[in-house]
């Protein structure tokens, strides 16, 4: 019997009516001949409520008990979904993470999968069960404690089950009807994509597109799990939504497939640091230890080629990081300077920047993408502060006030409104 994995996010199961709507979609797939594994999130707002309860009860909480509490939201949804399906004469039962079992590491709050044995669920399918409703976001540590996977973990759960059970496809039901060339709230010309390659989706997810969790895309790419993103609130068929798949399934790729952006960026520059082997390690080692996620890095030519205080050649270093990590980064650098690990004359922080990126596997075979991008921004008089590139991505830091203008200009320049 072919198997399908269907995942429903918090808004898709936000109340009993929405659970009934999701159950109707599951029943339709059963009627098409599939055995189905349904992965559910907690009802919208429930996880935040549970986190709040934990923090009010114990500000310095035990992470193991935190996981025991916050994982309960998914258990409720799984049970309600199974009951709804049973009322619709669909043989279904719910599964909590420990019952499968979903084996994970012991990193409470950010656990990773170790294994998902198939035996228990396969046996129930053999006995006539048609739908296994599994609580997402949770697992079981080697010590026998409940773990959670971090926010967005239900997406990762769904992909992991699709890989473990060799599912035909993994359908991610959410409150949008697919993946768009950019955020439709920023550009009215944004167009829904029929297909997008794993690598493109991974870049878009890591750059701020919130439709899919980054770890879920990484896992899908590793195990070649075909993902489909589609709306819970529309009638759907086999052609609905956006398929996230291997590059080989996409016949012809445009140079650029999408424009991603992030408002929550900051730029930090260290002026007049020693230009010597190991200086990058001396700077970014303490930042890593402090948990700062460094993104774009540029080493500049300093206004000074030589400085008597440093007794050698000097340079400047610029990097970006999430704006909510600026204080942590500043302290890590100041502590490193106080300990004599690095020297710098000045530390300048700019919290009024945004990152805009063009992404596309077609860049591999299309020349001139960077030139077109920079020309489009120049035409709008937008100054570029930092540039980084990869094989399928070009990212720039610009003043935040120009972010929406930049997105619209690039969307037009690359003709993303046209199929």
Residue numbers in the known binding site for ATP are: 7-10, 174-175, 180, 185, 210-211
**Average pLDDT across the chain, whole number:** 91
Does any domain span residue 127?
yes
For residue 305, CA distances in Å to 273, 344, 395 come to 11, 14, 29
Of all residues in the chain, what percent carry a pLDDT higher than 70? Answer: 96
**Is residue 209's pLDDT more than 70?**
no
- Number of H helices and E strands in the chain, helices first, is 12, 19
Q: Is the domain of 282 the same as that of 404?
A: yes
**Is residue 307's pLDDT more than 80?**
no
Q: Residue 306: how many CB atoms within 10 A of its CB?
A: 11
The CATH number for 289's domain is: 3.30.2130.10
The CATH number for 82's domain is: 3.40.1160.10
Does any domain span residue 186?
no
pLDDT of residue 301: 65
Q: Is the domain of 261 the same as that of 170?
A: no
Q: Pick from 118, 143, 175: which residue ends a domain?
A: 175
Q: Is the domain of 74 the same as that of 158?
A: yes
Does any domain span residue 327?
yes
Q: Is the domain of 262 the same as that of 411?
A: yes
User: Assign residue 319 a region: left if phi > 0, alpha if psi is -120 to 50, beta otherwise?
Assistant: beta
Does any domain span residue 238?
no
Q: Is the domain of 118 the same as that of 258?
A: no
Whether 94 contacts 135, CB under 8 Å: yes
Q: Is the domain of 279 the same as that of 140?
A: no
Give the pTM. Answer: 0.83
Of all residues in the chain, what percent carry a pLDDT higher than 90? Answer: 74
Does any domain span residue 52?
yes
Q: Is the domain of 127 the same as that of 10?
A: yes
pLDDT of residue 76: 97
pLDDT band, very low/low/confident/very high, at 1 (cuts 50, 70, 90): confident
Q: Is the domain of 275 the same as that of 401?
A: yes
Does any domain span residue 75?
yes
* Residue at token pair 């109340």: 15
pLDDT of residue 151: 79
pLDDT of residue 367: 83
Rounded Cα distance between 364 and 391, Å, is: 7
Q: Pick from 175, 196, 216: which residue ends a domain?
A: 175
- Give the count of domains, the chain: 2
Q: Is the domain of 24 the same as that of 169?
A: yes
Sign of the torsion formed by the C-alpha atoms of 331, 333, 339 and 345:
negative
Q: Is the domain of 13 the same as that of 157?
A: yes
Q: Pick from 141, 175, 209: which residue ends a domain?
A: 175
Residue numbers in the known binding site for substrate are: 47, 74
Does any domain span residue 203?
no
- pLDDT tens profile 113-145: 999 999 999 999 999 999 999 999 999 999 999
* Mean pLDDT for the stretch of residues 279-284: 93
Does any domain span residue 110?
yes
Q: Is the domain of 160 the same as that of 293?
A: no
Q: Is the domain of 122 the same as that of 38?
A: yes
Structural domain boundaries enclosing 104: 3-175
- pLDDT tens profile 28-80: 999 999 999 999 999 999 999 999 999 999 999 999 999 999 999 999 999 99
pLDDT band, very low/low/confident/very high, at 234 (cuts 50, 70, 90): confident
């Amino acid at each position: 019997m072919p198997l399908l994995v269907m995942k429903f996010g918090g808004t898709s199961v936000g109340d009993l009516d929405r659970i009934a709507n999701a159950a109707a979609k599951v029943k339709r797939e059963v009627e098409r001949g599939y055995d189905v594994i349904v992965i559910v999130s907690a009802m919208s707002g429930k996880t935040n409520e549970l986190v709040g309860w934990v923090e009010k009860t114990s500000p310095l909480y035990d992470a193991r008990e935190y996981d025991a509490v916050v994982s309960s939201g998914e258990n409720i949804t799984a049970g309600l979904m199974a009951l709804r399906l049973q009322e619709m004469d669909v043989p279904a039962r719910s599964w909590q993470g420990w019952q499968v079992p979903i084996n994970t590491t012991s990193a409470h709050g950010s656990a990773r999968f170790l294994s998902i044995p198939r035996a228990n669920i396969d046996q129930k399918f053999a006995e006539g069960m048609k739908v296994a409703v599994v609580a997402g976001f949770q697992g079981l540590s080697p010590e026998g404690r409940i773990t959670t996977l971090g926010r967005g973990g239900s997406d990762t759960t769904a992909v992991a089950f699709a890989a473990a059970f060799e599912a035909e496809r993994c359908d991610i039901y959410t409150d949008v009807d697919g993946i768009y060339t950019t955020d439709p709230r920023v550009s009215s010309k944004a167009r829904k994509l029929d297909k997008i390659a794993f690598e493109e989706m991974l870049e878009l997810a890591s750059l701020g597109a919130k439709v899919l969790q980054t770890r879920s895309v990484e896992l899908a790419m590793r195990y070649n799990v075909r993902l489909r993103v589609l709306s819970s609130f529309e009638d759907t068929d086999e052609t609905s939504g956006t398929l996230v798949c291997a590059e080989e399934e996409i016949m012809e790729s445009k140079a650029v497939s999408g424009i991603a952006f992030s408002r929550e960026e900051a730029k930090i520059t260290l002026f007049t640091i020693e230009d010597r082997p190991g200086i990058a390690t001396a700077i970014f080692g303490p930042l890593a230890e402090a948990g700062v996620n460094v993104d774009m890095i540029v080493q500049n030519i300093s206004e000074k080629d030589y400085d008597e205080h440093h007794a050698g050649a000097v340079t400047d270093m610029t990097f970006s990081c999430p704006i909510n990590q600026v204080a942590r980064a500043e302290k890590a650098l100041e502590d490193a300077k106080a300990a004599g690990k690095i020297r710098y004359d000045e530390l300048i922080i700019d919290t009024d920047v945004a990152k805009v990126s063009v992404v596309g596997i077609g860049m591999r075979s299309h020349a001139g993408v960077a030139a077109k991008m920079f020309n489009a921004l120049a035409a709008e008089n937008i100054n570029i502060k930092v540039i980084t590139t990869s094989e399928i991505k070009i990212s720039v830091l610009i003043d935040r006030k120009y972010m929406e203008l930049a997105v619209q200009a690039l969307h037009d320049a690359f003709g993303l409104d046209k199929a």
